[in-house]
Amino acid sequence: MKHTEDIIIKLLQIRQARKLAESNVMSDEDIQKLRDLITSNRRQIPTFALSHFDRLEASGKSGLAEAKYGKCSACGAEIDADEIEYLKKNRNIGVCDNCFAFIYIPDDKFDVSAFFKELLAK
């Protein structure tokens, strides 16, 4: 797996694990699995990327957003065509010029729902 793809997946998993852990429907065992996943993923993400993501998420903004239809899904700002090409090439990560969220081109590889179904079914 490419390094940038791995970062996107790890950040998406952290975000989803946080949401699930904060919901009132998880068992204590599942919450522990989610916390362990968050800890493990945080160790695998470069510090600069993790701190940028955390800072945005802590302030109530999105730390990671899809680049859909030439716009940032977090704030709706237009994304330059050159930036879109950069994101498409090798599944790179960019930064929105408006809201500063990491941006990426959505792909089936980044759908983490099946991962969580499997993790929490164990």
| Overall number of domains in the chain | 1
Confidence check: pLDDT of 1 > 90: no
Q: What is the CATH number of the domain that holds 41?
A: 1.10.287.1490
* DSSP symbol at 104: E
Distance CA 44, CA 61 (A): 22
CA distance 99 to 78: 11
Domain that holds residue 108: 3-121
CB 6 within 8 A of CB 44: yes
Residue pLDDT, tens place only, 11-64? 999 999 999 999 888 999 999 999 999 999 999 999 999 999 999 999 999 999
Which neighbouring-strand residues pair with 94?
Answer: 103
Selection from 52, 13, 55 nearest residue 35 by Cα: 13
Per-residue pLDDT band for 89 (boundaries 50, 70, 90) equals confident
Average pLDDT value for residue range 103-118? 91
